[in-house]
Every structure is written in C-alpha cells, then in structure tokens.
Amino acid sequence: MKLKFEMWKCQTKRGYMSRFTDGRGISTDSWWDSPQLSIDHVGPEYLKQSHRHPNTKNDRHINFIKDRYKVEMARLKASEGEA
C-alpha cells in the first residue's frame, strides 16, 4: 500500500487537518492551529507525537510527510487566495 498525506481546512475551528496513511493502511489525523508553510525544521520526535502522526515509524515516513506537507500547504494557501 502506498503512503498518503492530505490536508484540508478545518470546518469546526481555525486551522487545518492532516491525515497520514502509512504503508499498512493505518491512518492518523492531526489538527494544525496556525501552521507554517514548511515543517522541514522539525525533528522526527515531533511528527511521532500522539497529537500529530504517531504512525510515523521511519525516515521514509518523515521525509514523505515533510515533502507532502509543503505541497499541501501551498495548495491550500493558493486556494484561499483565489477565494
């Protein structure tokens, strides 16, 4: 199974939601209050926290999330600018 990472604007409160699905099909959701455009600066322990994506198990997962996060944030910010 492929890794998946997606983000969307939270409908119930300020911020965004993300969902990471690992190679075994296990998904976790996380709420981001006021996210930055990149999370390249965070260490592996940050993404593994229970309120982020605890199914992040290795460097492949971490790098995948960091790369996809940038793409998703750019997409979300662009769509907000068009609204």
pLDDT at 59: 96
Model-level pTM?
0.91
Phi, psi of 14 (to 5 degrees): -60, 145
| Sheet order of strands, 4-9 included | 4-9, 16-21, 27-32
Q: How far apart are alpha carbons 26 and 54 in whole angstroms?
A: 10
Q: What is the pLDDT of residues 30-39, one digit of tens each?
A: 999 988 999 9
- pLDDT tens-digit profile of 23-56? 999 999 999 998 899 999 999 999 999 999 999 9
Residue 83 is predicted with a pLDDT of 47
User: How many C-beta neighbours within 10 Å does residue 68 have?
Assistant: 17
| 74 close to 36: Cβ distance less than 8 angstroms | no
